[in-house]
Chains A and B, each alone.
Chain A
Amino acid sequence: MELFIAQILTGLANASSLFLVACGLSLIFGVTRIVNFAHGSLYMIGAYTGYTLMQVLPGAIGFWAAIALSGVVVGIVGVLIEILVLRPVYKAPELFQLVATFGVILVIQDVALLLFGPEDLLGPRAPGLRGVVRIMGEPVPKYDIALLVITPIVALVLWYLMTKTRVGVLVRAATQDREMVGALGVNQAWLFTGVFALGSALAGLGGALQLPKGGADLLMDFNILAPVFVVVVIGGMGSLPGAYLAAIIISVLNVFGVTYLPQSTLVLMFVVMIVVLMFRPYGLFGREEVAGEHGQVGEPERPIKPASFRVRLVTSIMLLALAFLPLLGSTYLLVFLTDILIFCLFAASLHFLLGTGGLVSFGHAAYFGGGAYVAALLITYSDTPMELTFVLAPIGAGLVALVIGWLCLRLTGVYFAMLTLAFAQLVWSLVFQWGTVTGGDDGLVNIWPAVWLKPTVIYFYFALIFSVCGILLMRHVQHSPFGYALRAARDSQRQAEATGIDTRRIQLIAFGFAGFMGGIAGALFVFSKGSVFPNELEIARSFDALIVVFLGGVKTLAGGVVGAGFFKGLEETLLRFEYWRLLMGLLIIFIVIAAPEGIVGSLRKVGEHLGLKKAKDQ
């Protein structure tokens, strides 16, 4: 019993940072409808800023002042991000906003590295709160007690701000109905900026407050993202009480998990989320999202056409050229090209879902990594011939996709996107924590192809054939009645359902198919590298694919492939610089703002402008 109480107290104390970060995210989403993926980065800046300030400000007063100042500093950073990056993309589809905030993540990672160095920093203890107090004989850190007091106070202040002040009333009004606020004569732009500042400041506070319990390192931005998303999804997007309750549930559960089920703490969190969503799809306190017809913001997508003779000719020539590249005799080049081919297939599979299906999946790495792991597990634990694993791995990935898709397709829009991400994280945490089977962080090694496939040249041709056939197959499906039905479901679910099309079933099959194709890429990957690690399932891998699709152009058929080739080439070039993330991040932000049509879309526009191609409506 005593231990039980002590653990609950620890859980409540741990909830503190989680709540602050989550409610910041929730607040920003409620008003601006932007899911700020860079929120973890703001949390990280808060931690580093707090640490730095604590070094110069002395004593207990200095400590607490440092925490408060961190909030202020991060708030200002938030204002800068909002004005420079987000303002231009408020009206853009969710994907654009995601990609923009992902650019911010990359920039902040390198800026943090530049300013604070690569070492993990151990957080300083709070002056005057170093020891423990005994509660019913159990030791509880004094700092935990402080957090137990602080969090409800912050929550109350926020509650007061939201319910009793004019600003709060406006913010809540904006959460309900954004047009109305405009009608009230409030400058909407500055309201957004203000809310973004407040949300950012909360993240910064969260980062600084957890210093004595944790510290500051360069991975905390991604590490906090999954729990925060889980909290926000469980609590309901835009709901502060929801965020509070969910943060407590997750934190307390986590503490008990560490004690009783140490192998599954991460998994537990996602299981709770799934259970909640089964009964309350919009979270405990969330309201139903009224989804418009899918993401058709901006210019509507153009009709697709079977490739013209010219396009086929050019593509064939390029493929032929690719096939002759081994003659150059560079092993390095071949390995690099194989990487690109695999990545193209992976990106194309996401593009199929996202472009044709309008299904913004944020967790596509689950199928790529999933395929890779299925193959690796089969090789490691059974004597499955390699040839057979190339069949079974995609099937495994496809099945995972079907299950995840079935659960996620109950929701739409942002909720759908966050759920796909959360499920991908579930897969990741399963692999990460089930070390006895999956090797955990050490991954699975010695996964080599059969002897006939070992030579780099042969593997290159193998990957070439699989990728090209896979991509062509997806293109064919896009032109098939099924592909049209998928687009119909995206363009107008209402009309599609009213003309006999079971849109959810279509989307589910598309989900499974895209997962299957991603699984092929994963299998190709694992045999080309000889090993697989959990980072193939990570958020960052999903984001790579999203960015690629985006760079290439969502509303074009070739977008995924072109973007992948471009991205890999760029990465290869930029990786030579120490601060390549910074450059990449800035480039991404630039493209989001300046060329939102992507490479293929922009080229098409330029072509039309020059009169090389026929304009869209002859």
Chain B
Amino acid sequence: MTQSVLETRNLSKSFGAIKAVDDVSFALQKGELLALIGPNGAGKSTCFNMLMGQLKETSGQVFLHGEKITGLLPRQIWRKGVGRTFQITATYSSMTVIENVQMALLSHHREIMRFLPYATRRHHPEALDLLDMVHMADQADRHCAVLAYGDLKRMELAIALAHNPSVLLMDEPTAGMAPKERVALMQLTAQIVDNFGVSVLFTEHDMDVVFGNAHRIMVLNRGSLIAEGSAEDIRNNPLVQDVYLGGGSVFGADEEVLDA
């Protein structure tokens, strides 16, 4: 068996009596676009935050290229080649678009502790290339606080790619976007996976976005993985149908939920 890029073993997290994530084990293979879906409150964000070191797990382990990374801080995990985007965008609102990307590059090149100007001139071409990758090069010098939400999301993607990560974690990348934009963003992500061989794990509550692009899909419900397989498998899985139909959200329903 080839070694997986990212793997969790028996990952669990409880908040008091609530088991938000319950004994989750899965593996992400190289070059794979893996979706983690489930209704709201299923535990997707919690799972992500543990992978990224934002939350301490109750039990279980996470491995990156076979190396245990549980217990590391987010910034340490990032240094090991894991990038992420947030469900609610987190950007440097006082900077231009390209400076947002340059910031990640400065950190990647370990230049944060330089005290002489000008930061804004460092790694400029590299940052522009990244922005070009997400079709944002024409907006490079705009103040990021004036961007449309969809553009912000793409900028975040460029930031996440800045240190040439081997794994990319995207928590509900399309939340808050218009339906057309959603599909476009997922296609863009799929392209990046194809071109650069990065492995992507992303969460989503809207199934339509997932079916078009994901290589493989896992379904989380109330903290537990209940199904895993291709789009076809998942679509026809009675358990999944039950969760989505019985849980109140209809297949492909286009409702918008902005939970944290």
Residues of B within 8 A of A481 (CB): 106, 111-115, 119, 122
Is there contact, CB below 8 Å, between A303 and B99? yes
Residues of A within 8 A of B145 (CB): 300
From B91, B96, B106, B116, A495 is in contact (CB under 8 Å) with B91
**Which segment, of A186-194, A384-392, A438-446, A500-508, faces chain B?**
A500-508
Residues of A within 8 A of B54 (CB): 498
Task: Encode B85-100 as 1/0 by CB contact (under 8 A) with A.
Answer: 0100011111110010
Q: How many residues of A contact B (CB 8 A)?
A: 35
A487 CA to B111 CA in the complex, in Å?
Answer: 15
Is there contact, CB below 8 Å, between B106 and A296? no
Residues of B within 8 A of A480 (CB): 114-119
B60 within 8 A of A: no
Is there contact, CB below 8 Å, between A487 and B95? yes
Question: Which residue of B is nearest A493, CB measured?
Answer: B90
A491 within 8 A of B: yes
From A495, A497, A617, B92 is in contact (CB under 8 Å) with A495
Is there contact, CB below 8 Å, between A479 and B107? no
Q: A287-312: which have CB < 8 Å to B?
A: 293, 296, 300-306
A589 within 8 A of B: no
Given A481-B112, A482-B112, A497-B75, A306:B90 Cβ within 8 A:
no
Is there contact, CB below 8 Å, between B143 and A499? no
Residues of A within 8 A of B114 (CB): 480-482
User: Would you give the shortest CB distance from B138 to chain A, in whole angstroms?
Assistant: 13
Is there contact, CB below 8 Å, between B93 and A300? yes
Most buried by A among B86, B92, B114: B92
Residues of B within 8 A of A483 (CB): 119
B52 within 8 A of A: yes
User: Would you give the shortest CB distance from A460 to chain B, in whole angstroms?
Assistant: 29
User: Would you give the shortest CB distance from A613 to chain B, in whole angstroms?
Assistant: 15
User: Would you give the shortest CB distance from B184 to chain A, in whole angstroms?
Assistant: 23
B124 within 8 A of A: no
A498 CA to B82 CA in the complex, in Å?
Answer: 9
Is there contact, CB below 8 Å, between B116 and A302? no
B250 within 8 A of A: no
From A477, A497, A616, B74 is in contact (CB under 8 Å) with A497
B5 within 8 A of A: no
Is there contact, CB below 8 Å, between A491 and B106? no
Is there contact, CB below 8 Å, between A479 and B79? no
Residues of B within 8 A of A496 (CB): 92, 103
Is there contact, CB below 8 Å, between A491 and B74? no
Residues of B within 8 A of A500 (CB): 75, 78-79, 104, 107-108, 163
Task: Encode A453-493 as 1/0 by CB contact (under 8 A) with B.
Answer: 00000000000000000000000110111111101101110
Given A481-B111, A616-B143, A499:B104 Cβ within 8 A:
yes
Is there contact, CB below 8 Å, between A498 and B117? no
User: Would you give the shortest CB distance from B83 to chain A, in whole angstroms?
Assistant: 8
Q: How many residues of B contact A (CB 8 A)?
A: 41
B84 within 8 A of A: yes
B146 within 8 A of A: yes
Residues of A within 8 A of B142 (CB): 617
Most buried by B among A487, A495, A616: A495
From B90, B91, B103, A484 is in contact (CB under 8 Å) with B103
From B96, B103, B104, B117, A306 is in contact (CB under 8 Å) with B117
Question: Which residue of A is nearest B147, CB measured?
Answer: A617
Residues of A within 8 A of B143 (CB): 300, 302-303, 616-617
Is there contact, CB below 8 Å, between B94 and A499? no
From A305, A477, A485, B103 is in contact (CB under 8 Å) with A485
Residues of A within 8 A of B240 (CB): none
A130 within 8 A of B: no
Is there contact, CB below 8 Å, between B103 and A498? no
A483 CA to B108 CA in the complex, in Å?
Answer: 16
Is there contact, CB below 8 Å, between B78 and A300? no
A306 CA to B117 CA in the complex, in Å?
Answer: 9
A484 CA to B93 CA in the complex, in Å?
Answer: 12
Most buried by B among A476, A483, A484, A494: A484
Residues of A within 8 A of B10 (CB): none
Given A302-B94, A491-B93, A479:B75 Cβ within 8 A:
no
User: Would you give the shortest CB distance from A607 to chain B, in whole angstroms?
Assistant: 17
Is there contact, CB below 8 Å, between B107 and A499? yes
Residues of A within 8 A of B106 (CB): 481, 484-485
A483 CA to B79 CA in the complex, in Å?
Answer: 21
A482 CA to B106 CA in the complex, in Å?
Answer: 9
Q: A428-444: which have CB < 8 Å to B?
A: none
User: Would you give the shortest CB distance from B159 to chain A, in whole angstroms?
Assistant: 7
A488 CA to B101 CA in the complex, in Å?
Answer: 11
From A303, A477, A491, A501, B107 is in contact (CB under 8 Å) with A501
Residues of B within 8 A of A479 (CB): 117-120
From A306, A490, A491, A502, B75 is in contact (CB under 8 Å) with A502
B73 within 8 A of A: yes
Give me 21 A-to-B residue pairs in the complex whose CB atoms sit less than 8 angstroms apart, sorted by A's number. Answer: A296-B94, A300-B145, A303-B99, A303-B143, A304-B94, A305-B120, A479-B117, A479-B119, A481-B106, A481-B114, A481-B115, A482-B115, A483-B119, A485-B106, A485-B107, A487-B92, A492-B92, A498-B54, A498-B74, A499-B107, A500-B79
Report B's interface with A, CB cutoff 8 A. 52, 54, 73-75, 78-79, 84, 86, 90-96, 99, 102-104, 106-108, 111-120, 122, 142-143, 145-146, 159, 162-163
Closest 9 CB pairs of A and B: A479-B117, A301-B94, A495-B90, A300-B145, A491-B92, A484-B119, A300-B93, A500-B107, A481-B114
Report A's interface with B, CB cutoff 8 A. 293, 296, 300-306, 476-477, 479-485, 487-488, 490-492, 494-502, 506, 616-617
